[in-house]
Amino acid sequence: MPDCIFCKIIAGEIPCKKVYEDELVLAFHDINPQAPVHILIIPKRHLPGAAELAPENSAAAARCLEAAAQIAKEQGLESFRVVTNNGKGAGQTVFHLHFHLLAGRDLTLQLA
């Protein structure tokens, strides 16, 4: 996916502030944080978004959520939100599946 910014981050062509990495997923700080903690967790294999999830590719998505739990534990986050936007109408701007991990402010009123 030559034009995908997240694939370029995975390939090391664009730098990121890495938080976690394993064979299936990469997590890094969002460049434009919407909360004191705003980490993106992405599968290494390109998938446009949550709408494309299927039994044959969902293991990496599950690993993204496991990574969220591990990062939250490591960072001592008792409360956090994990969200993914699918489609322009939901606010998706990067069409490589990613989960936002948000924490560090009151998240009770807003959805993201």
- Which residues are at the interface with ligand 5GP (CB under 6 A)? 5, 14, 16, 28-32, 40, 85, 91-94
- Are 108 and 86 in contact by the 8 Å Cβ rule? The answer is no
CA–CA gap between residue 108 and residue 19 (Å, rounded):
25
Catalytic residue, chosen from 29, 46, 96, 98, is 98
CA–CA gap between residue 18 and residue 92 (Å, rounded):
21
Catalytic annotation on 98? Answer: yes
Residue 96 interacts with Zn ion (CB under 5 A): yes or no: yes
Residues with a known catalytic role: 98
Chain residues binding Zn ion by CB under 5 A are 1, 4, 6-7, 46, 96
